[in-house]
Structures are given as C-alpha cells and as structure tokens.
Amino acid sequence: LNLAVIDPLKCIQCGLCEEKCRFGAINDFEVDSIHCEGCKVCVQICPVQAIDFVERICGHAYISETKYGPMSHAKLIPGMETSGKLVVLVRQNAKRLAEEGGFELVLVDGPPGIGCPVIASLSDIDKGLVVVEPTLSGIHDLKRALKLLDHFEVESLVCINKYDLNHDNTKAIRGFCFERGIDVMGLIPFDPMVTKAMVVGQPIVEFDPDAAASQALRKMWSEVKGHLES
Ligand code: SF4
Ligand code: SF4
C-alpha cells in the first residue's frame, strides 16, 4: 500500500490537501499514516507537487513448519488497512507449498465478514465451509457469507458452532439451509474444554480427544472429506 508524505520544504501551506482529503488524514500539513488510505487525491491536487507517494509495509508473510504440516500465514502491522493483498500473498505461498510438497488439500482459514480479505480468501476455492453460531447476528452474517459464495460460484457447506446454546436458532439455520439445498456438515456443541485447549495453545482434538467438541469435529471432518472426494 502507498502513503502520502508532505515535503515541508516544498509545501506552501495552501491547505488544499487537508480540505480535499476525505479520510481526514492531513492535519497541520502532515499526513497521519494510520488514516491515509493511499487514494492519491492530495498528490494530484497539490499545486506545487509537494506530496510524494511512498510504499509502506502493511505486514509480513511467513511460512512455518508445524507438526500438522506446513503453514502459510501473515501478521498485519497494527493499524494497517486489512487489504486483500496480504491474503493473496498467503494464498500464493500456500499454493506453492502444496505443489512442492505434493499435498492434495489446502485449507484456507478465512476471516469473518464479507470484506476484501474474505473475497481474497475465496478465489479459486472448491468449497466454502461457513461456520455460524446460532445467534441473530450469526444468522445475518451467514446469509451474507452464503450470498458471497454464491456470487463466486463456490459450493457452500455449513457448520453450526455451539449449536446447543440456542436450539430455536439452530433449527432456523437448518431450515434455511435445507430450503436452499445447502448441506449442514456438523453441529459442534458448546464445550468449556475448547477454552482450556486455547489457553494452552492446542487444538481441542489434541488437548482432549474425547471432549464432546472433539468428537463432533472429527465427525464433521469426515463429512467434509466425503464431500471433497465426491
Ligand atoms: S493519499 Fe488520500 S487519504 Fe492519503 S492523505 Fe492523500 S488524500 Fe488523504
Ligand atoms: S496542497 Fe500541497 S502546498 Fe497545499 S498544503 Fe497540501 S502539501 Fe502543502
């Protein structure tokens, strides 16, 4: 991403850039790097070409070895815009790792919502598993996510997490999916062991293989695998 920088030696302090920046990123002839969206309007309108456009680093991409296999991931610098570019880089690295290592499957853990990073995580995927919790906002987000997957012609699957916290909403989600021909892959119960596993930094299936959530996750995974192989 790019960032506007004002050269104080060239600036004649006309105030035009501050007036035209719709992100409020310029104050007292200085650019606030957190608010600058890199739209370049100020660069174009400055009458004395006092504003430069510089590249800035938004985050770093990493490739790590884990005991479950290689992992491509990234760290966004706090305050930086969550553009899809970093996600695209993570996806490219993952694809390369899979090709080099002869892996058949790349699992992409997409972010919540329907913004740029989500769209970037959807490109070229075979199936999208939407994880929803049985709340009204969860149902709302589910509908938006399914619409997005539809738009990109990606087959949708659904998993209901903590399904037992609201049986009415779980029923509503299942009904909604049934009407649209979307398969519900699994129902994961609320399980306090999940929090304990997170505290020690382990997946629940490893921390407590017999926990209710672990059993439900294994069952769901075999359903998902069946779908991927079909
Ligand atoms: S590049 Fe756009 S957002 Fe950044 S300071 Fe200039 S006008 Fe504002
Ligand atoms: S538009 Fe250019 S000259 Fe005017 S205040 Fe901004 S940087 Fe300075």
Tens-digit pLDDT profile for residues 45-100: 999 999 998 887 778 889 999 988 899 998 887 766 666 777 888 889 999 999 99
Q: Is residue 163 part of a domain?
A: yes
Domain count along the chain? 2
pLDDT exceeds 80 at position 134:
yes
Q: Is residue 67 part of a domain?
A: no
Q: How confident is the model over 215-224, as pLDDT tens digits?
A: 999 999 999 9
What is the 100 CA–ligand 2 centroid distance (Å)?
51
Q: Give the model's pLDDT for residue 186.
A: 95
Q: How far apart are CA 132 and CA 127, in angstroms?
A: 16
Nearest ligand 2 atom, CA 26: 6
Q: Is residue 86 part of a domain?
A: no
Q: How far apart are CA 67 and CA 93, in angstroms?
A: 18
Q: Give the model's pLDDT for residue 123.
A: 80
Q: How confident is the model at residue 122 (pLDDT cuts 50, 70, 90)?
A: confident
CATH at 9: 3.30.70.20
Q: Is residue 26 part of a domain?
A: yes
Query: Which pair of structure tokens corresponds to residue 230?
Result: 């079909």
Strand partners, 159: 131, 186
* Domain boundaries, position 47: 2-55
Q: How confident is the model over 140-191, as pLDDT tens digits?
A: 999 999 999 999 899 999 999 999 999 999 999 999 999 999 999 999 999 9
Q: Give the model's pLDDT for residue 139.
A: 94
| 31 within ligand 1 shell (Cβ under 6 A) | yes
Q: Are 39 and 23 in contact (CB under 8 A)?
A: yes
